[in-house]
Chain A
């Protein structure tokens, strides 16, 4: 059975601070996919990144970066120089190969204050 744990329920930072959102997953499959989605206060779910289990390269996209470590079953998300517009709930999700169903973590609410 697959499981995603986001242990941080809520994080508060001040603008320009760096922040890391943790994600730990469980799966018995060797082939799987990991995702991050953002849900801003307006409510829509926005895709941020997809990573397959065979690609452990870290990824950077502007102020966002992701650290995938299979040895610790983690897929952490770092926002550098956070901004108020980054305030949102962030979800980590997992899909095992052969299944098109996403299992979501419970989400981390990030509050960035000016």
Chain B
């Protein structure tokens, strides 16, 4: 199936641990993103990559490091996890089709719980 897939769907971990979330898209899109959705449902962009190149890096602690080995993958590594990192993280991809921006295709989200 064509889609944006994220793994894992749920992640429970202790404070101080390091964890990664993986994202892959097989839609042939050029741009991929990470968004964080907090407990109040607010969606905020963290990073954006276009063809493996970082183009947006919002004010995110440097404990968060995105890695894009190729344009179909954008992984998120988080060091020294803190309680406040608990959230749902969404990966998304998009493609400018020449007639404008058509929005994102989202992954199903990763619910990260730090205990």
**Residues of chain A at the chain B interface (Cβ within 8 Å):** 31, 33, 35, 39, 43-45, 47, 50, 52, 89, 91, 93, 95, 97, 99-104, 106-107, 109
A106 touches B106 (CB 8 A): no
SS of A interface (majority): strand
A106 to B38 Cα, complex, angstroms: 11
B103 touches A47 (CB 8 A): yes
A102 touches B104 (CB 8 A): yes
A30 to B3 Cα, complex, angstroms: 32
A-B contact pairs, 15 of them (CB 8 A): A39-B41, A43-B111, A44-B108, A44-B109, A45-B106, A89-B41, A95-B101, A97-B100, A100-B48, A100-B50, A100-B96, A101-B33, A101-B48, A102-B104, A106-B40
A35 to B104 Cα, complex, angstroms: 10
B102 touches A50 (CB 8 A): yes
- Checking B44, B48, B90, B101 against A45 with a beta-carbon cut-off of 8 angstroms, the contacting residue is B90
B41 touches A50 (CB 8 A): no
Q: A47-B103, A95-B101 given as contacts; is B42 within 8 A of A106 (CB)?
A: yes
The A-B contact count (CB < 8 A) is 56
**Residues of chain B at the chain A interface (Cβ within 8 Å):** 31, 33, 40-45, 48, 50, 56, 88, 90, 94, 96, 100-106, 108-109, 111
With a cutoff of 8 Å between Cβ atoms, the chain B residues found around residue A109 in the complex are: 41
CB distance from A39 to the nearest CB of B (A): 7
A104 to B45 Cα, complex, angstroms: 9
A102 touches B103 (CB 8 A): yes
A95 to B48 Cα, complex, angstroms: 14
